[in-house]
Amino acid sequence: MSDKAAKTNDILDMNNYRIEKLPIRDKSSFEKLLMKIGAPVAIIVFALLMWMDLPFLADFNIAQLSIKATDNLNAIGMENFIFANRAMLAIFAGALILWITEAIPNYLTSLILIISLVLTGVLSEEAAYAQLGHKVMWLNILSFILASMLVATGVAKRFALWFILKFGKNASSVFLSFMVINIVLSLFISATTAKATILLPIFMVVAAVYGASNGKRNNFGRNMILQNLFQINMGAASFLTGSGANLLAASLIAGAIGSDIFFSQWMIAAFPTALLLMFLGLFIGLRVIFPLSKDERLPQIKGGMESLRKELDKLGKVSVSEIKSLVIFGSILALWVTDSIHGISPTAVAFVGAIIALMPKIGVVEWNDVDIPWHLLLFSAGAYTLGAGFKVTDLPSISVNAFFDGIGIGNSTPFWLIYLVLTGGMVYSALIFQSKTMRTMIFVPIAIGVANRFGFEVMSLAFPVALLIEHVYVLPFNSKPALLLYSTNHYSWSDTFKFGITMQTMAWIVSLLFAMTYYRWLGITPMGLGIF
């Protein structure tokens, strides 16, 4: 074997685990079928909803409308208001089908959605196009700039390598080390796929050291990949800036309650929940579902961790740019955590940080080094435009009221039952929908509408639902990191389903328990309602 071939087959060479070298998963026959029928079905559903007579849209209690919807009703008249709601429902249903089936790219669906809301008169051009300039959209863009700063300077990679070498002395400490790494990176990097990309070569080498390589599966490898997938998502769930879907949820809730959701407010509520679930995930994975044998707890390749040390040594001494990156982001993080004290929004803080990071001579990154996924931002802009349409039509509240009236459920329904249904629906919906943003657009407005219907505080239902956005790890198609890590060939569909569905169920249970305790103490869920 030549030296070049030997190097290519070196299981401890991190370059062999770059994303472009991983096999691309072919779509299943069912997924291909969905892509074929998606567009025709979306067009048919859109046409039917636009044409059909929908009594619940013509027979609603005006007194239950939001202030913005009432103002819109007074401005355009009842007939036009009913038409706007019908068009809103038709556009939403059509877009939802296109998003689920992926018949066309998600960003293209968003562009169609935006112009459809304009042409049907649901939103004015100013209101529809302005969503790309929404402050949450700006925070998304700025977060990608700051994350690019950490990636381009090598800070994120250096930290991950250093930490695993410093504290990953045995199998148990290796898993704990990756948990800490995922939490820290989640503070700085909002894109879950970016975190997976940074960590994948590192945990692939560690898995190889413990005997999982070249298609050979063992429980260490299964745990290594699945625990990281779970922790990447739970890290994102911990912080408001953890993902664009979190920011969207906070924006929707803030619009409903009339005040902002602070970074610190989200972190205080979400981080303990996520941390508990990460520890539960380690116990369930390592002890119950994929228990490690005695041999799997020992390194199989002598001196294997030295390959990571060599990779760390390649980075050289800590550079001035890396120190600048740490100072910039440390300052930003400090201001984010204390936003409820000084009142400066996360977007304004990120703006200043991004300007400094890009400033010639002073900064640490150039514009060409910035990786901004504009297709994702266009997709998000479509979701925010849907949110604007929901506000002016109040379709979620009208639909919720019609549904509960139709099945004969009155306003005496106990809080615990509503909480159980909404949080359960949010958790398990991740089995079907790939997009966290899409699930947010469906379930958070529903939670807001249900809260208004039954007279509960919006935060008591919508916020706990929002905290469950990131549970997208059960099957490979549930999220981009899930698809990426499935390509490592370290586990099967049944493996990820067993672990994933268990952790989703645990997340639901923990949410219910926290609703009765911790969320009460924070003033999120109410006292003295049903068993709560």
Please state the domain extents for the chain: 26-103
Alpha-carbon gap, residue 449 to 398, rounded angstroms: 8
pLDDT of residue 214: 64
CA distance 81 to 90: 14
478 backbone dihedrals φ, ψ, rounded to 5°: -75, -20
Q: At what angle do helices 219-238 and 171-188 cross, to 10 degrees?
A: 30
Distance CA 488, CA 496 (A): 13
Would the pLDDT of 401 be above 50?
yes
Q: Work out the average pLDDT over 464-469.
A: 96
Mean pLDDT confidence for 33-41: 93
User: If you search the block for the tokens 């202030």, which residue do you land on?
Assistant: 67
Question: Residue 463 pLDDT more than 90?
Answer: yes
DSSP 19: G
Give the Cα separation of 51 and 89 in Å (integer).
Answer: 12
**What is the rounded distance in angstroms from the CA atom of residue 443 to the CA atom of residue 437?**
10
Whole-angstrom distance, CA of residue 403 vs CA of residue 409? 9
Cα separation of 240 and 247, whole Å? 6
Confidence of residue 1 (pLDDT cuts 50, 70, 90): very low
**What span, in angstroms and rounded, lies between the C-alpha atoms of 480 and 433?**
12
pLDDT for 5 beyond 50? no
**Do residues 104 and 39 lie in contact, with contact meaning Cβ atoms separated by under 8 Å?**
yes
Q: Residue 274 has what pLDDT? A: 97
Q: pTM of the predicted model, to two decimals?
A: 0.83
- Residues 485 and 491: their CA atoms lie apart, in Å, by 9
HEC per residue, 384-410: HHHHHHHHHHCHHHHHHHHHHHHCCCC
pLDDT band at 193 (very low <50, low <70, confident <90, very high): confident
- Beta-carbon-side half-sphere exposure of residue 174 (alpha carbons within 13 Å): 23
The answer to whether 527 and 416 have CB atoms below 8 angstroms apart is no
| Spatial CB neighbours of 455, under 8 Å, sequence gap ≥ 6 | 411
pLDDT in tens, 298-345: 887 777 778 888 888 988 999 999 999 989 988 998 998 898 888 888
Contact 367, 358 (CB under 8 A): yes
* Residue 62 token pair: 């005006």
Q: Is 448 exposed, middle or buried (0-12, 13-18, 19+ CB in 10 A)?
A: buried
Question: In Å, how far are 73, 109, 161, 304, 307 from 314, measured between CA atoms?
Answer: 64, 44, 11, 17, 11
379 near 110, Cβ under 8 Å?
A: yes
Percentage of the chain lying above the pLDDT 70 cut: 93
Tokens of 10: 């070196």
pLDDT tens digit sequence for 72-117: 889 999 999 999 999 999 999 999 899 888 899 888 998 999 999 9
Whether 254 and 260 have beta carbons less than 8 Å apart is answered as: yes
